[in-house]
Amino acid sequence: MQPTFTIRRATAADAARLTALVRSSGAYRGRYAPIITGYRVTADYLARHEVFLAADANDRLLGFYALVLDPPELDLAFVADEAQGLGIGRRLLAHMLRRAAQARLPEVRVVSHPPAEDFYRRLGAQRVGTVPPSPPKITWERPELRFAVPH
């Protein structure tokens, strides 16, 4: 059964819990942990970018995404570990593509966390290359994908 939730623009008041979601992500344990060590979603970041969150009726944070408009890129996309597999990520990405269409973007770049590549490809992203490591935090290659934005 699909959970009931709403998608809304994130505000400065959401910064701490967005940061907590990033830092608690099970997808970034082990070798991937350094990329989120010390990471913060700031009020300034939320003001500069299109950041939308999914929350349930009790305002429990289920996930969020951040769309950078110039250059067009999906900068962040997270779903709470306990909410994965419920269609939240799929709905957040559909929302992101609608926002990109409203902004008249032709495409959206994604530098993917390697384990998330299949998810993005199932939603229509095409792999266009690989981004090399950038030590010391990122010691692995990352898939580079693009979503064509339907208009």
Q: Where are the domains of the chain?
A: 5-108
Averaged pLDDT score across all residues of the chain: 96
Dump pLDDT digits (tens) for 57-67.
999 999 999 99
Q: What is the pLDDT of residue 116?
A: 96
Q: What is the pLDDT of residue 3?
A: 74
Residues 82-99: what's their mean pLDDT? 96
Contacts of 117 (CB under 8 A, 6+ apart): 127, 143, 145
Residues 109-120: what's their mean pLDDT? 97
CB 22 within 8 A of CB 39: yes
Residues 14-18: what's their mean pLDDT? 98
- CATH code for the domain defined by 5-108: 3.40.630.30
Q: What is the pLDDT of residue 9?
A: 98
Q: What is the pLDDT of residue 151?
A: 83
On the question of pLDDT at 149 being above 90, the answer is yes
Q: What is the pLDDT of residue 1?
A: 60
| Percent of the chain with pLDDT strictly greater than 70 | 99
| Percent of the chain with pLDDT strictly greater than 90 | 94
On the question of pLDDT at 91 being above 80, the answer is yes
Residues 91-105: what's their mean pLDDT? 97
What is the side-by-side order of every strand in the sheet holding 107-111?
A: 5-9, 50-56, 61-69, 72-79, 107-111, 142-148, 126-131
